Amino acid sequence: MLLIRNKTVLILSLSALTGLSTSCKHDPKEIPEVGIEKAEPTPLIIEVPQGIPPLPVPEENPLTIEGVALGRKLFYDERLSKDQTQSCASCHIDEHGYADSNRFSIGVEGLSGSRNAMAITNLAYAPGFFWDGRAKTLEIQALEPVPNPLEMNLSWPVALERLNADEKYREEFKLVFGVDWIDSIDVAKAIAQFERTMISGNSKYDKFKRGQAEFTPLELEGLDLFRTESADCFHCHAEPLFMGFEYLSNGVQGEITDLGLGGITGRPQDMGLFKPPTLRNIEYTAPYMHDGRFNTLEEVVEFYNSGVHVDEVNVSPLMKKSNRFNGDLDLTPRQKEALVAFLKTLSDEDFIKNPDFQDPDK
């Protein structure tokens, strides 16, 4: 499906968004101009913390101060849900590392999905979004939750009626995007701008790397386990972002009930493959795995130590290589404790308490 506006073509692969094409069609003669003087938004350059890669920003959606502020406002706006009780932030909560503490988020109709809400952390660096990779850009990702019946369950045409009825919103969109009428494409662009600024890079680990903090002996032992084939975490969660860029199966299902990437591509070799999430702020983002089956980091470590289904269809060869002792890592209690201690050094309190990411109305 194609959405065409201002000579820009955006390809959407999300079948759930079939109502979008009508949300962007209006007779220009019927659209009153917003009564503000012509102005240009202010370019925004993000200085990332030392040790974090330069921030990638698409040319078609450059960061601006006003655009990020608009995206932040939309991120917290409950008018984007059917009954006006939920926003994006309802399932991405600051104190939980911008993830959801519930195993499955509950939508406005009281229905829940079957996957745990992923954390919004360093998403600017990700090559795909959602556990199954069905969105290739942050802009496409931002379009889906609003009409999703298990989430905000509001058609885009109705959402846009609400936004366009707000003169302040129309003034802000006029400034940021030069438009007199708000459409779904620009809503997604604004939210994506805000989400790209949500960079976490000031944890104890980062300070240790910069020579600003010391690790305890236990944390050092955990770091060594993480970086070597003793625990072999680094292949799927590479430093410094601690996220994965290839979809894989870690053998958590055994018998595949969630198709993951395979549900999108239909290819047998993709069945049960998922995006490895970032480990940054993992102390805050429980529960864990795509289906939230583990409540603690200790449970996660024990799974990799002794619970991987190495015979699962499409299980990553890395799992078979790591689990070399009849499917077990054979970690000692001390080693498991050390791994958890190291993982907690990835907690970035400055990130979860950053006022620039929180509700602008509070």
Return the axis-axis angle of helices 156-164 and 184-196, rounded to nearest 10°. Answer: 80
Phi, psi of 340 (to 5 degrees): -65, -40
pLDDT of residue 33: 62
Place of tokens 């070799």: 269
Share of the chain above pLDDT 70, in %: 88
Task: Render pLDDT for 90-108 as a digit per residue (tens, 0 to 9).
Answer: 999 999 999 999 999 999 9
Count of C-beta atoms within a 10 Å radius of residue 327: 18
Task: Render pLDDT for 253-264 as a digit per residue (tens, 0 to 9).
Answer: 999 999 999 999
Q: Which amino acid, one-letter code, is at 227?
A: R
Task: Render pLDDT for 134-187 as a digit per residue (tens, 0 to 9).
Answer: 999 999 999 999 999 999 999 999 999 999 999 999 999 999 999 999 999 999
pLDDT of residue 346: 98
Give mean pLDDT, residues 299-312. Answer: 93
CA distances from 351 to 89, 113, 116, 120, 195 (A): 15, 27, 21, 11, 13
Task: Render pLDDT for 22-60 as a digit per residue (tens, 0 to 9).
Answer: 344 444 445 556 555 667 999 999 999 999 999 999 999
Nearest-CA neighbor of 88 among 63, 67, 112, 119?
119
Q: Which residues pair with 248 in a beta bridge?
A: 274
**Which domains occur in the chain, in start order?**
2-199 (1.10.760.10), 204-346 (1.10.760.10)
> Does residue 19 register a pLDDT over 90?
no
End-to-end Cα distance, the chain: 39
Which three-class secondary structure state does DSSP give residue 169? helix
> Does residue 292 register a pLDDT over 90?
yes
Task: Render pLDDT for 312-337 as a digit per residue (tens, 0 to 9).
Answer: 999 998 887 655 545 578 899 999 99
